[in-house]
A and B are shown apart, each in its own frame.
Chain A
Amino acid sequence: MIRFLQNNREASVAIIIVMLLAILAISDPSYLRVETLLSIYSNSLTLFVLAIGATMVMATRGLDVSVGSIMGLSAAIAGVCMNDGFGIVASIGIALFVGLCCGLFNGFMVAILRVPAIVATLGTLGFFRGCVHLTTGGSWIEGLPESFKDLSHAWVLGLSPFAWLVLVLLAAAHVFLRYTAFGHAIFAVGDNREGARLLGIRVNTVQLTAYAINGILSALAGIIFAAQIGFIPNTAGNGMEMRAIASGVLGGVSLLGGTGTVIGAALGAFFMTSIDSVLVMLRFDAYWNDMIAGAILLIVLIGDGRIREAMAQSLRYQKYRKFLEPDELRAADPAPANAATPAEPLTGAGKAGTKDAALATHSKEARV
């Protein structure tokens, strides 16, 4: 069971989500409908998109805390373009391009200039947010075209065009990371940068691409956000970076790079949103949201850490067991060990084994 959870980190998030929905269903069965799920899903679209991007960046052992600002910037630029009479497609294209540029800039700082990722993106967090104010002149952007807002309204099977797009994107990102050489390269760079370089992977290109994709996805999140709420405040995307990272971490993406799946991150994002919705449906006061989400996040993280420690210990035990066991046998029943005198060389080997075992236990103690 523990091994299964460890190998399928997504499963643990999925279980928590199911538990959350079960609590909801018990308290009020009338909520147990497809519409509830769909509404939670459409509330979590922006976080989904950001979580996909965060997975890619975190897989390269990076971190992007500027996504909230990129989101706000591209939403603002899309809004300004639309209100200036550009077509919707052109505006979205421009916004995505801006996101690409922001992502490339982050990637340039991290991959080429070798600035630590958190520092570089911390700087661009403030910088891009300032650009938002420059673009909008400090005021909210309102009066977006109706046809643009319609993109977030129900279309086929109760899902909006953006919701379908995000589903497709999720599948595409999963396939990209799992089944293509480039996707594997991203994980390889995160796991062992120098090793990846020696294998002939273009490390800098991979990192740059991961940040660029993240930039485009953040821009897309901004566009979806604008279409959903129908206007663009200056604070659009504030604080989203932490939620995106938290979603990824909850879904099993390691900040130390090299592991994690898009599906896990998406489930994490779904959880982060569903807790808000579920608490509202359970008629809790809204101010409980962050505390409960934080508590669950901490519990999952600590539990995960403990499981990983236990796994590592059992692995170490398996590794040194052949040295440890003769020792234990002798301690349990010394007579047979003494009786085994005919096999003189064997005891010698046994002695060597004891020495090794002593070493092993010693190093074990030192590590624990």
Chain B
Amino acid sequence: MKSLGLLKRWEAVLALLLVVEILFFGAINPAFLNVSTLLYSTSDFIHVGIVALALTLVIITGGIDLSIGSVMGLSAITLGLLWVAGVNIWVACLCALGAGAMAGIINSVAIQIAQVNPLVITLGSSFLYAGAALVLSGLGGASGYEGISGFDDSFVELANLEVMGMPFPLVIFIVATAIFMVLLHRTRFGRYIYLIGQNPRATRYAGIPQFRTLTIAYALTGFMAALSGLVLASYFGSARSDFGSDALMPAITAVVLGGTSIYGGSGTILGTALAVLVVGYFQTGLQIIGVSSHIASALSGALLVVVVAMRSLSEIGRAYFLLWRVLNSAGKQKA
């Protein structure tokens, strides 16, 4: 009975899914079970996870940020431009991260000023930032979608660096997961995030600094998006303005699959982190057993649809069961 109680936690289901999935692909192609394969294949998708962690905060507040993909490109291009202009690569990295955080702050301020749905505002700002990235790369001489490359070796090697036997991007992801878990589940800031998602009006009446909390959440998302853009730039050895355009949907997918309610108010960091791994290994696993990458992405879309539909169905089922129980006991009382 106790183990059943554990299964009620969505994270447990995800962890189970992850293990089953790895074993399944391992059974078809034993090369998949190789520890170094498992660790190093994360480099292909872990940048999605880095953004998804911060995006979880924003979605828990009942908002959403569609501009993360654009911010990833913007930060990579900022880095590239500054590098071309002769700035030290680490200073350039800091500036790129700052640009990301700034983009997040602009999002938040615009949302609060206009009091419009965050979806709409960040849709507009995603056009703005993607456009800004294109303009910057155009001004920097790399016309259109051409990349800026030729970075310092120490920066490019960062992505392939090995820390405690793990690739560096994975280490960033694990550290970020730990930090965000503490931030969301153990601090006052984290409680405010949940509260805003549950009931913004009650939050306001309770005197909780809504503007500050939301701004920090969006700034963190921008910051993490920039970080993930830098990870990509280091991984590919070049900076392009359209880096993040494919990362937006997988990031939202990971957050939603991780059990965060898209309406806000509930969700966990651990769930998001596990969902990133589930989706990522699903894709790599399919490719390793010889499914083409396009069909793999179709199947991961189908995975999202099926999992979410099942969750929704079980919710509906539970609601009906409760209703039936209430009606049943009421009927008995009458009799």
Residues of A within 8 A of B (CB): 63, 65, 109, 113-116, 118-120, 122-131, 133-134, 138, 234, 239, 242, 245-246, 249, 255-256, 285-295, 297-298, 301-302, 304-306, 308-309, 366
A245 to B124, CA, bound (A): 10
Least CB distance from A151 to B in Å reads 29
CB neighbours (8 Å) of A119 from chain B are 256, 262, 304, 308
CB neighbours (8 Å) of A290 from chain B are 127-128, 130-131, 134
Contacts A138-B294, A366-B204 given: A301-B252 contact, CB under 8 Å? no
User: For the complex, is B309 an interface residue (Cβ under 8 Å from A)?
Assistant: yes
Per-residue CB contact flags for chain B residues 107-132 toward chain A (1 = under 8 Å, else 0) read 00010011111011101111111111
Q: Which residue of B lies closest to A305 (CB)?
A: B114
B interface, size bucket: 35 or more
Beta-carbon contact of A242 and B123 below 8 Å: yes
Least CB distance from A58 to B in Å reads 10
Beta-carbon contact of A287 and B138 below 8 Å: yes
Beta-carbon contact of B301 and A124 below 8 Å: yes
CB neighbours (8 Å) of B303 from chain A are 123
Q: Which residue of A lies closest to B310 (CB)?
A: A113
Per-residue CB contact flags for chain B residues 289-307 toward chain A (1 = under 8 Å, else 0) read 0001011111111111100
Residues of B within 8 A of A (CB): 64, 66, 110, 113-117, 119-121, 123-132, 134-135, 137-138, 144, 204-205, 245, 249, 252-253, 256, 262-263, 292, 294-305, 308-309, 312-313, 315-316
**Could you tell me the dominant secondary structure of chain A's interface residues?**
helix
A246 to B201, CA, bound (A): 28
Contacts A120-B308, A126-B297 given: A294-B117 contact, CB under 8 Å? no
Beta-carbon contact of B114 and A302 below 8 Å: yes
CB neighbours (8 Å) of B115 from chain A are 305, 308-309
CB neighbours (8 Å) of B308 from chain A are 115, 119-120, 123
Q: Which residue of A lies closest to B298 (CB)?
A: A130
Known pairs A126-B249, A128-B298 / 20 extra A-B pairs, C-beta < 8 Å? A120-B309, A122-B253, A122-B256, A126-B304, A127-B305, A128-B301, A129-B297, A130-B296, A133-B292, A133-B294, A239-B245, A246-B124, A249-B123, A287-B134, A290-B127, A291-B132, A295-B131, A298-B110, A302-B114, A304-B116
Q: Which residue of A lies closest to B123 (CB)?
A: A246
**Could you tell me the dominant secondary structure of chain B's interface residues?**
helix
CB neighbours (8 Å) of B64 from chain A are 118
Least CB distance from A92 to B in Å reads 24
Contacts A255-B117, A288-B135 given: A127-B127 contact, CB under 8 Å? no
A330 to B122, CA, bound (A): 47
A298 to B70, CA, bound (A): 15
CB neighbours (8 Å) of B295 from chain A are 130, 133-134
Least CB distance from A320 to B in Å reads 19
Q: Which residue of A lies closest to B129 (CB)?
A: A294
A218 to B313, CA, bound (A): 28
Beta-carbon contact of B316 and A114 below 8 Å: yes
- Which of B126, B292, B300 makes the CB contact (< 8 A) with A294? B126
Beta-carbon contact of A305 and B144 below 8 Å: no
CB neighbours (8 Å) of A295 from chain B are 128, 131
Beta-carbon contact of B249 and A287 below 8 Å: no
Beta-carbon contact of B313 and A113 below 8 Å: yes
Least CB distance from B244 to A in Å reads 13
- Which of A128, A134, A292, A298 makes the CB contact (< 8 A) with B125? A298
A288 to B124, CA, bound (A): 15
Q: Of residues B125, B127, B292, B297, which shows the largest number of chain A Cβ atoms within 10 Å of its Cβ?
A: B127
- Which of A127, A129, A255, A304 makes the CB contact (< 8 A) with B114? A304
Least CB distance from B313 to A in Å reads 6
Beta-carbon contact of B110 and A302 below 8 Å: yes
Least CB distance from B63 to A in Å reads 12
Least CB distance from A32 to B in Å reads 27
- Which of A113, A114, A116, A298 makes the CB contact (< 8 A) with B124? A298
Least CB distance from B88 to A in Å reads 27
Beta-carbon contact of B119 and A123 below 8 Å: no
Beta-carbon contact of B297 and A130 below 8 Å: yes
Least CB distance from B312 to A in Å reads 5
- Which of B135, B144, B296, B300 makes the CB contact (< 8 A) with A291? B135
